Amino acid sequence: MKALIALEDGRIFEGRSFTGHGEVYGEMVFNTSMTGYQEILTDPSYKGQIVTMTYPLIGNYGTNNRDIESCDIHAEALVVREYEEAYSNWRADMSLRRYLMVHNKLGIEQVDTRALTRHIRLKGAMKAAISTKDLDPGSLTAKARSSPGLVGRDLVKEVTCRTPYIWKDDKITTLNAHTLQNICKTKSRDLRVVVLDCGLKYNQLRLLEKRGCECVVFPCTASKDELLSVEPDGVFLSNGPGDPAALCGIVETVKGIIGRRPIFGICLGHQILGLAVGGRTFKLKFGHRGANQPVKDLETGKIEITSQNHGFSVDDKSLPPEIEITHINLNDHTVEGMRHKKFPMFSVQYHPENAPGPHDAEYLFDRFTEMMRQCQRERT
């Protein structure tokens, strides 16, 4: 059925829905990955955004119940050039169309995604509306303009877990007040990591567990005392959606942890750390989203090809002297990594958990676990 895409600047794109009727709003962004659409859709960082895939053929390997990064689809809608219903993959459980419909999400095809992507690159990411119901360009454009957008929005509270839990072997065990009190008496792994869930991806937990870490996950509303009450060896700050400048409460919590435990932050976690040490963040013109972003390690000179998904960045000029920039993006020279010169703390803007994307930066999880073990040795 016919669908209309209206951007807030009045640009209109036509397509057809392959998932039924609907009307949604969000910030229109594009992702340059050739594969990994299921991981992208289930990445909580896409909350409030409509994702356009630049690769023209999407859906040809279907979906399954293993390649997920959260328990839901968080992108508001998916826009593609051509949807392929006849999927072929021995691991597949259902088609992409069926997967989107199960989660009540719009899928739009037969859109000129090259023109749409070029428009965003020139004009910047902008608010958009998609509808199969309202096909009046003027009306739909007005709806796009009146939608909330991302700037100033705290979307983390919409994607965080509601209660603490332990992650083990891809399974979640919810913790209540009693089990939280007793958790310090037993440790199932060499290291215990407290994970602040700002919209985390499951593969971050998988890679930490693979390295001997017991992962205790807390919602974003947890206080400093709650996070430290389980006697962690380190604190992990996850990725997540929305504007980091709107997360004043989380920033204050992280301020109270700096220097008390080793900290590793990814994406939004990196931005939160930047704000916690006194820096500022700003919105990028169209963001970095894809599995082919070149990042330079300033210490080694090595170039990493990285997976990224963010629309905000830490302002390097706002960071205090005790913070050292460790990585930069080679496309626009924005900050991609930093560390504290005194305390055991570092972060990266990109996604080393490679889901989807290259494995170049997975070593950062080794760096974090070694940092925690070093601090363990110093305490004893």
Question: For this structure, is 267 an active site residue?
Answer: yes
Q: Let me know if 84 is a catalytic residue.
A: no
What percent of the chain is helix, strand and coil (3-state, nearest 5)?
Answer: 25, 35, 40
Active-site option among 213, 214, 267, 288:
267
* Candidate list 69, 209, 304, 353, residue with the active-site label: 353
Residue 217 CA to residue 174 CA, distance in Å, equals 9
Is residue 356 reached through a cis peptide bond, with omega within 30 degrees of 0 on the bond before it? Answer: yes
Q: Are 127 and 288 a contacting pair, CB within 8 Å?
A: no
Please give the Cα distance from 164 to 38 (Å, whole number). 26
- Classify burial at 320, counting beta carbons within 10 Å of its beta carbon; exposed 0-12, middle 13-18, buried 19 or more: exposed
Cα–Cα distance between 290 and 231 in angstroms, integer?
36
Task: Compute the distance between CA of residue 371 and CA of residue 113 in angstroms, rounded to an integer.
Answer: 44
Exposure on the CB side of residue 202, measured as CA atoms within 13 A = 18
Q: Annotated catalytic, 353?
A: yes
Q: Are 349 and 336 in contact (CB under 8 A)?
A: yes
* Alpha carbons 134 and 144: distance in angstroms, whole number: 12
CB-based contact 207:200 (threshold 8 Å): no
d(CA 84, CA 369): 42
* Contact between residue 231 and residue 256 where contact means Cβ atoms under 8 Å apart: no
Q: Phi and psi for 294 in degrees, rounded to 5? A: -80, 130
Residue 357: closest CA among 83, 52, 40: 40
Cα dihedral sign, 234-344-222-47 = negative
Element (H, E) at 35: none
**Facing residues of 341 across strands?**
none
- Grouping H, G, I as helix, E, B as strand and the rest as coil, residue 94 is strand
Are residues 46 and 19 in contact, defined by beta-carbon separation less than 8 angstroms? no
Active-site positions? 267, 351, 353
